[in-house]
Amino acid sequence: MESFLIQATLYLGAIVLAVPIASRLGLGSVLGYLLIGIALGPVLGIVGAEMDGLRHVAEIGVVMMLFLIGLELEPRALWAMRDRLVGMGGLQILITVSLVTAAAIVFGQTWQAALAMGMIFSLSSTAIVLQTLTEKKLMNTPGGRSAFSVLLMQDIAVIPMLALMPFLALGGGGHGGAGDEAGHHGAMSLIAGLPAWGVTLVTLGAVAGTVLAGHTLVRPLFRYVQAARLRELNTAMALVIVAGIASLMLMVGLSPALGTFLAGVVLANSEFRHELESSIEPFKGLFLGMFFITVGAGMNFAIFLEAPVLLPVYVVGLVAIKVAVLSVIARAFKLDRDNRWLFTLGLAQAGEFGFVLTAFAASQRILPEDVANMSNLVIALSMLITPALFILQELLVRWSRAHGESPAHDRIDEQHPVIIAGMGRFGLTVHRMVTMTGAKTTVMDHDLKAVQRLRRMGFKAYYGDPTRPELLGSTGIETAEVLVACLGDPEANTKLVAYARRIRPDLHIIARARDRVHVFELYRAGANDVVRELFDSALRAGRYAMEQTGLTPFEAEAAEKTFFEFDRAALRDLATVWKPGVPIEQNEEYMALSKVLNAELENAFAQAPLGEASPRSHTEPISPTEIIASAEDTPEK
């Protein structure tokens, strides 16, 4: 007991200390876990043989991860993404597996081991890539969406890969198999001593039983458990599902990950899906983290000392193969140059599922121990250089843009009173409303694909960057009456407003704001009217909610109007104490005034009949000049 507590303290303490540091450095949690394992094992020698036993416990995290992946794979969503999933993702896996397999055979591996290595190295790091794309706000770009599709296909492909591994062991004359795996992890077996047809029937029966239980038994069981109104019972129920299915799969000689993934897909449309996710997610994270720690601790760096040149060659060769394959696929699917770099270099590493497949292949004796150790080192090193690959991608994009390789901007051949900069959903709605009245607009957007899509829809739009002075000048900014600045990038939108106000003090500028702080920035830049993206829609949603709580439509509309007018006045007051560059929560004067205004709003609703304006209501437009002057007069702390 004492030894267990000491080990638990050691591992959990290392996780708490090291993973946040790795995340802040942009390495991600997976690399953080690997580095912890490397530090505790090969570097410091604190842990040793006991990690083998711990790894079997930590494999529960892999099982839980595949169950959660199954829960996310709603059949309708998969069908909608079928072109990119099957096209980009399927081609990437097949071509990479073929090339890596051929290279491994050239280096002297058996075809079974080579094929296993092809499957292992065909995968990329879902955790690192998605985290990096999110942090860099690249997820919604064509390259980011394409990378997500390939990663999703790779996650799905892990299941047939795990199912195929035992056949490679049998076909290659290996000494292990699915049955060995079952015997290794559990004492019971439902297929021991059965003839081949009996094994097949029992295995199919277990899979069919899992699907049937997911459709018929899980819902009534969850309703029964939820009747107790104890959250820990929901967690226990979720763990029972995962552990029970994993045990059943082991007893029939199948991979437990395969069974739990199948169960997750079956339950993807269940009303208890989110309850299952929230209950299992913390356990999955800890167990999976422990699994990666055991992988790092088990790495044999003596191999690197024995082959200091060969290991880097393997890593560079793997990245080169994946870059070549991904580049061809990106061109085939007509990604533009910048998105090709993002797609190609972002997915060029190996992935965390490679550790799972390597461990499974080693347990099945498909890969010799030294090859498995080398594979783990190659995977880890390729993941460690991922931040450098993303830095290289940024440098290549900047270089290509600096050398004039971007598509030529359109020549604007007409000028109109209204200029709309940005043609996303926001700008398109503004354009349609304005043109319905007969007014003419000049539309410009820096997203080439968005412009091309609008042209196919019958709208006239120009490709170009509105923040560039010469391009904005070609739209007729000197004679225009209205500028609607609705670029998706808040910084670019503020830059556009500031420049337009500087060259045209009399121009009426309407600007799209992301949030309240962006409102202040746009007013300071000189916008006349600022529209928060979600404010009006939130007001409508609040009005609908009030109607459902007993208010009449007239009363709800009056309350909505009162709130709108009060918030508009409060925004003007808050702008006088807002300080650029100072986070709102650190601006004591702002926070104090915000509390006072919230209290006044509550009092206004409590004392005034619905339909009467608040005493602080201001129906006149907010003056940018007044706000800017007041803000500039506020002393900096």
Quote the CA–CA distance of 581 and 56 in Å, as a whole number: 50
Report the interhelical angle of 142-171 vs 256-266 (nearest 10°).
140
Residue with tokens 């601790």: 297
User: DSSP code of 480?
Assistant: -
Summarised one tens digit per residue, pLDDT across range 343-381 is: 999 999 998 788 888 988 888 889 998 899 889 889 888
Angle, CA of 579, 580 and 583, to the nearest 5°: 75
Position 506 scores a pLDDT of: 93
Given a cut of 80, is residue 520 above it in pLDDT?
yes
Quote the CA–CA distance of 123 and 271 in Å, as a whole number: 32
Helix (H) or strand (E) holding 48: none
Where residue 629 falls among pLDDT bands split at 50, 70, 90?
very low
Could you tell me if 362 and 369 are in contact, meaning their C-beta atoms sit under 8 angstroms apart?
yes
Count the neighbouring beta carbons within 10 Å of the beta carbon of residue 52.
11
Helix (H) or strand (E) holding 530: strand 529-532
Summarised one tens digit per residue, pLDDT across range 536-574 is: 888 888 888 988 888 888 888 888 888 888 888 888 888
CA of residue 51 relative to chain centroid, distance:
31
Full set of structural domains in the chain with CATH:
2-397 (1.20.1530.20), 418-633 (3.40.50.720)
Q: What is the mean pLDDT of residues 26-32?
A: 71
Structure tokens at 610: 């619905």
Quote the CA–CA distance of 243 and 344 in Å, as a whole number: 38
Given a cut of 50, is residue 89 above it in pLDDT?
yes
Please name the residues in contact with 368: beta carbons below 8 A apart, sequence gap of 6 or more.
113
Helix (H) or strand (E) holding 401: helix 386-402
User: DSSP code of 43?
Assistant: I
Quote the CA–CA distance of 90 and 149 in Å, as a whole number: 10
Could you tell me if 280 and 238 are in contact, meaning their C-beta atoms sit under 8 angstroms apart?
yes
Given a cut of 50, is residue 522 above it in pLDDT?
yes
Position 184 scores a pLDDT of: 43
Classify strands 462-463 and 529-532 as parallel, antiparallel or unpaired: unpaired
Q: What is the mean pLDDT of residues 498-521?
A: 90
Quote the CA–CA distance of 10 and 306 in Å, as a whole number: 31
Alpha helices of 172-255 — where are they, by DSSP H? 178-185, 196-216, 218-226, 231-251
Residue with tokens 């004359």: 173
| Among candidate residues 333, 346, 421, the one with its CA nearest the CA of residue 383 | 346
Residue with tokens 């897909």: 265
Position 96 scores a pLDDT of: 95
Given a cut of 90, is residue 404 above it in pLDDT?
no
Could you tell me if 330 and 313 are in contact, meaning their C-beta atoms sit under 8 angstroms apart?
no
Could you tell me if 146 and 331 are in contact, meaning their C-beta atoms sit under 8 angstroms apart?
no
Comparing 617 with 422, which gets the higher pLDDT? 422
Residue with tokens 């709603």: 74
Position 491 scores a pLDDT of: 87
Q: What is the mean pLDDT of residues 315-336?
A: 92
Where residue 407 falls among pLDDT bands split at 50, 70, 90?
low
Q: What is the mean pLDDT of residues 412-430?
A: 85
Q: What percent of the chain lies above the pLDDT cut of 90?
A: 15
Helix (H) or strand (E) holding 485: strand 482-485
Position 140 scores a pLDDT of: 65
Q: What is the mean pLDDT of residues 103-107?
A: 92
With the CA atoms of 606, 608, 609 and 611 taken in that order, what torsion angle do they form, in degrees rounded to the nearest 10?
Answer: -120
Structure tokens at 523: 């007013």
Position 129 scores a pLDDT of: 82
Count the neighbouring beta carbons within 10 Å of the beta carbon of residue 583.
9
Side-by-side strand order, sheet with 441-445: 462-463, 441-445, 418-421, 482-485, 508-513, 529-532
